[in-house]
Amino acid sequence: MSDTENERDISEQDYQDRLEVLRDRVAHLVVRDRRSVESAAERLVQKADVEIGHTEETAAELLATVVDPRSVQASQIRQQRVRGNRVLNLLRTTVWTPLLLVDATNGRFVVGQTYLSDPRIGELGSAHLALPAPESPPALPSLIYRGSRVAVAGALDSNAAYVLQHNNWMEDIAANGILMPLLAGHVEFRFSDGTPRQAVGVVDGTSRTASAHKLLGLTESEILAMEPTAQRRWLNKQMRDLGTEAERLTEAAGMDLAALIRTEQKLNALTAEADLIVGWGWDDKATLQQRTGKASYVSTLNLALGAQNIEPKAFSAEAQKTLLAERAVNTLADYALLSPDELVFALGREGLAEVAKKLGLSTHRDERCAWLIRLMTIPKKEERKVINEVLGVKSFSAKGRSPYVFELALRSFSGQDSQLLDRARNAAVHALWTNVGHEWEVVPRPEDADLDKLEREALAEVDGGGSGPCCYEVAARAVVPLLALGGLGVDRGSAAYRGHASVVVDKMITNAWGIKQLMATIRASRQPKPQFPRVDEDGQTISDGERSNTPSANNDWLRTRVLMKPTSTPASKADEAQQRTFTGLAGARAGFDAYRELMEPPYQSLNGDDWVTVARNARTLSKDLSLYVVSDD
């Protein structure tokens, strides 16, 4: 609701209801004393089941930002996986935004890539000298910055100004509060001209934090200059003023909607949900070499927040479930296909089901992935630039698609199903999609009947002699489930049937069986516990029998089925003979390599009449091929 709203836009009953909510919110917000903070820090350090790295003193500095420290329990710590078999230990809680500082480096870059600048005023104006990158203690999850007070304050204000110019959330926060959780951790500023300053800095959420500070009339340098006692005095005064204003509005004879809105806006900007980083370490899959390497807290954040992984919203479990839908919604809004009201609604508290209902998006994972793939493979340069900005991808092009974008899609597909992501990541980064990016109509297909219609239309295209928009849509919808469910893997050098994943998918959408297999995979992905299905020529599921449904076995089965047989137009007898030669040689090479690997070492030679015959036939075939194969060598 905007400031331009007038009394005719709201009834007196609605006004009184909002006023009652405001009074309740103010009454429940209490600035706790230092003793409750220290008690919470003691519980956190002593009772945590994971290595949090904090001492009671540093944990108290971190928890000083929490609205209600009494609610903090060590059992609430959860682990967020990071690439490289690392984990961040996070504590979800509600914090006071005025007690947070924005990212000391530019929030749009990886931690430590953009350093602080030390402004020195001279005759020729101001020069900026780069300061060292942030350090981190061996175990403590904290970032250490060094520089003068002016340098640190200037960098904080400069970064806040930058994000407010390019990514201002003030209007949205004023109306709705900070909807997405922040990611924040312990920070220490070691001033070259003063005593060190402990603080809590935002790792992800600089734009939202700076916008909240702006609404409250605060600058980053002002927050930095305030000691903890001064910060609490400021908070107490704010809450007293809000309480006084709420009482004044209650006792007033008429409606003062403008004053009510101003008070609501300040209250909305005062608090936010945040994931506080209380520790970092290794998961159970980490190797000894990884554990004893040169890993640090800074490098872990780089892996977690860098463009090579996923945007920090993934640290929110809720955001993981809806990340792809939010991306698509943002992009559609940039194309002016959504109104601002719909965008706010989509990013609000209603959840993915309501977003889908409002915007026509499906709640199914395959459909969310398909929307993103269609948006990010669009061939128009000007629209692709918009998507680059929305996705945060710097190395994207229509022909050479960034593997990181596909990892984003995979993460959204997998949601909380981490095992699906583990199966699919390597396959995704090896794949360069070709036909997936062709034009197809972006329409929601949330029901089984919608998928049945798509399958009929795609089969009609194939029967007509070629692939069309419906076939491309099938590929776009199926490619991520195909990888995530373990149906298709990487192009392994030892595989009998070689080819990038894109080659396999491209061939599948040129024939009826391939369309049926891809559609079966889409339908399987919509099940509570999805598993890759194998189908026959009629589209009926094949019983696995004694063969297990494993990614390795499925990959071999699918590649054999697709790459060994002609999958487009009927082949001539000569083509069939040529294909038989190629696949036979590939199979012989793979079998020979596998046999050598499986033999008991050491071995000196291959004995027996069978191997003598094989060697003789191989020499004869080699001589015959040499007579007919024309080479430049």
Residues 467-516: tens digit of each pLDDT = 888 998 898 888 878 887 888 876 655 556 766 777 888 889 999 999 99
> Do residues 114 and 105 touch, judged by C-beta distance below 8 A?
yes
Return the closest-CA partner of residue 247 out of 420, 479, 469, 24: 24
Helices (H) and strands (E) in the chain, counts: 25, 9
Mean pLDDT on 433-459: 80
Least confident residue range of 303-307, 414-418, 507-511, 602-606: 414-418
> Do residues 474 and 373 touch, judged by C-beta distance below 8 A?
no
Among 71-75, 309-313, 479-483, 519-523, the range with the most confident prediction by mean pLDDT is 519-523
Q: How far apart are CA 500 and CA 201, in angstroms?
A: 43
Helix (H, G, I), strand (E, B) or coil at 311: coil
Secondary structure (H, E, C), 558-571: HHHHHHCCCCCCCC
20-51 b/e with 16+ CB inside 10 Å = b?
eebbebbeebebbeeeebbbbbebbbeebeee
pLDDT at 422: 55
Mean pLDDT on 31-49: 89
Q: How far apart are CA 429 and CA 309, in angstroms?
A: 12
Least confident residue range of 52-56, 157-161, 448-452: 157-161
Among 158-162, 293-297, 500-504, 618-622, the range with the most confident prediction by mean pLDDT is 618-622
Among 12-26, 224-238, 341-355, 424-438, the range with the most confident prediction by mean pLDDT is 224-238
Secondary structure (H, E, C), 513-536: HHHHHHHHHHHHHCCCCCCCCCEC
Beta-bridge partners for 183: 204, 275
Q: What percent of the chain has pLDDT over 70?
A: 65
> pLDDT-based confidence at 433, cuts 50/70/90?
low
Among 162-176, 258-272, 338-352, the range with the most confident prediction by mean pLDDT is 258-272
pLDDT at 19: 87
Residues 512-541: tens digit of each pLDDT: 999 999 999 999 888 877 888 999 998 898
Consecutive H or E run containing 127 = strand 125-130
Residue 213 in this model has a pLDDT that exceeds 50: yes
Residue 319 in this model has a pLDDT that exceeds 50: no
Mean pLDDT on 571-577: 62
Residue 200 in this model has a pLDDT that exceeds 60: yes
Mean pLDDT on 287-299: 77
Q: What share of the chain is helix, strand, coil (3-state, %, to 5)?
A: 55, 10, 35
C-alpha Rg value of the chain to the nearest Å = 30
* pTM reported for the whole predicted model: 0.51
pLDDT at 424: 59
Q: How far apart are CA 524 and CA 528, in angstroms?
A: 9
pLDDT at 374: 63
Residue 131 in this model has a pLDDT that exceeds 60: no
